[in-house]
Amino acid sequence: MSLSEDNLRNVQAEAITAASGSNLALALRVLPYGRRNDMRVFYAFCRVVDDLADEPGLPMEARHAGLLAWKAALGTQSASAYDPPLAQPLRAVFARHSVPLSWAVEVVSGCEMDLVGTRYRTWEDLRKYCYRVASAVGLVSARIFGGRGCEVYAEELGLALQLTNILRDSAEDFSVSGRVYFPEEDLLRFGVEPGSWVKSEAAGWRALMQFQVARAREHYAAAVSSLPATQRRVMVAAEIMRKVYGTLLDRMELDGFRVWEREYRLSRRRKAWLAATVFARTIVATAGQACGPLEKLPYIERV
């Protein structure tokens, strides 16, 4: 039996999500079936536009054209012969959950920032980038999860997660593409030369890292304090992300941020344990609440 075009694209979205091995892909396993599938479509879109910004084999003109095509597709609810793959399923997901298409445009704009510049003068400059590539993703995700009134939580958590990513990938980002995501004002403050952390511990490196850790933890704390108690259960997938990335941040800090010689990742088993722990604690803590789409969920999908 052949698949319809929409079903085929949904299958492709699921394959992209599964192949990524990302922390988000793990967190999606706690979602009810329909919301999980919708998140896979959205996540596949995020991967596609991110690849347009990062794929070294693509000419710069093709990258720009691909991102512009996505912006055009997200400027309307109507299908077009020029739509990128997944555009129509993505629009359907956004319509189903009352998500503004402008949030997806922000994600594309963040990817464009990676094409036109790889340095940021101030934290406010970097914050704009983090908002686009992470907070906007969080805003969309929160709506698909079923969250209401979670905008501040999504924005703050997105900033914290992206900062953690920046610390983790700092050596690879510079080695592969010359990108430096630490604000220039911070590098100057601690006397750290751009890229000096790629081969060994640079002068001022740990002080710079502790400063970035403190900033990330401020945003983690702001996310926690802004999550409405009535939304804890529907936002459990986001809370799993917070726990996984927070644990990764702790591990890097304890190890001295040795990014020049180590690739910091949590094992699949460790992430599964963290996910199960967050899920169980959330269900117990919200017992008796009318919390929405997770009320009848009896288990976490097998990892």
By mean pLDDT, which of 50-59, 165-174, 251-260 is the weakest? 50-59
pLDDT tops 60 at residue 2: no
Confirm if 182 and 208 have CB atoms less than 8 A apart: yes
Characterise 290 by phi-psi region: left (phi > 0), alpha (psi -120 to 50), beta (else): beta
pLDDT tops 80 at residue 176: yes
CB atoms within 10 A of CB 63: 20
pLDDT in tens, 124-165: 999 999 999 999 999 999 999 999 999 999 999 999 999 999
The DSSP symbol for 135 reads I
pLDDT tops 50 at residue 239: yes
Q: What is the pLDDT of residue 82?
A: 84
Q: What is the pLDDT of residue 14?
A: 55
Q: What is the pLDDT of residue 290?
A: 54
End-to-end CA distance of the chain: 29
